[in-house]
Structure formats: C-alpha cells, structure tokens
C-alpha cells in the first residue's frame, strides 16, 4: 500500500467519524438543550406547556410552602413577574427566601414542575443567569453582586 493510499484511508475514516460526530451533535442539540428564561420571559413569551425550561431568579420572600413528603412549593421572582415552582426532594443548603435560585423542569399550566433545584457553593455569589434576569427587569442592585473569592478547581 502506498503512502498516498494510506493517507486517503486515514483522511476518509477521520472524515467519516467526524461526520458521525457532527450528526450526533446536531441531532442532540435540537433535542436536548434547555432554554433559560426569566420569570418575565415566561409571562410574556407563551412557551408551549410541556417544554423543558430553566428558570432563574430570587426565591420570593414568603412564598415557600413545605408540604408532606418533602414536597415544596415556592415562587421565583425577578421583581417584575413570579413563577410558581413545585419540587419534591431536598432543596440545597443555600436555598433560602430572597436568595438566587436556578430551577429546571417542565412547564405546566400552574407553573413549573421542577426536577432540579441548583445550589451554589457560596452565599455571596449570585448565579450569572439570575443576575442577568434581575438586570433585565431593572431590579438589580450592584452592591448585592459579586465579591472576591474563587473556586477550588
């Protein structure tokens, strides 16, 4: 086998694998990505029920209700609109009223059925998505933002 043939086989198979990978990536991107929304987006955008979305904002003070069997309901707010969220499970340690939160789940008529409530490592840190949502609704205060610190990774 000549060097040229060998190179052709090599390039051909590389392109083949890359094409497969590209097809996988494209099909996965169309199915499995989740859009992030602020509560105002949800109020305004008419997203089809059943869509998986991610919502970020603050846990509205006074909205947290704990029920039987670790069911919990609360509202996520960006100061302008609120979205009710229900979740079953143990919420992260830093889940508190008035604190930033990101949840992910299915959009339903009465709000969001979340299967994920995300925690941050640091109580001084606000998730960027939440910051953006608050900035958009004009309820962002600079002082409440980031201060120094870092991650161990």
Start-to-end CA span in the chain (Å): 49
Least CB distance from residue 16 to another protein, whole Å? 9
User: Please, which residue, 109 or 131, has the CB nearer to another protein?
Assistant: 131
User: Please, which residue, 1 or 109, has the CB nearer to another protein?
Assistant: 1
Least CB distance from residue 122 to another protein, whole Å? 4
Binding site for another protein (CB under 8 A): 1, 3, 6, 9-10, 13-14, 17-18, 20-21, 24-25, 27-29, 31-37, 54, 66, 68-70, 88-94, 102, 104, 118-125, 127-129, 132, 146-153
- Among candidates 30, 33, 47, which has minimal Cα distance to 108? 47
Element (H, E) at 19: helix 3-32
């Amino acid at each position: 086998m000549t060097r040229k043939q060998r190179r052709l086989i090599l390039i051909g198979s590389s392109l083949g694998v890359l094409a497969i990978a590209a097809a996988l990536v494209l099909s996965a991107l169309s199915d499995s990505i989740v859009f992030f929304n602020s509560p105002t987006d949800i109020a305004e955008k008419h997203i089809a029920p059943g869509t998986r979305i991610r919502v970020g904002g603050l846990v509205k003070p006074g909205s947290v209700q704990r029920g039987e069997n670790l069911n919990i309901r609360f509202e996520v707010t960006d100061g302008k609109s609120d979205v009710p969220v229900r979740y079953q499970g143990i919420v992260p340690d830093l889940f508190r009223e008035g604190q930033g939160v990101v949840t992910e789940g299915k959009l339903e008529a009465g709000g969001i059925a979340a299967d994920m409530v995300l925690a941050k490592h640091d109580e001084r840190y606000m998730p960027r998505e939440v910051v953006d949502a608050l900035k958009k609704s004009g309820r962002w205060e600079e002082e409440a933002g980031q201060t120094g610190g870092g991650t161990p990774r």
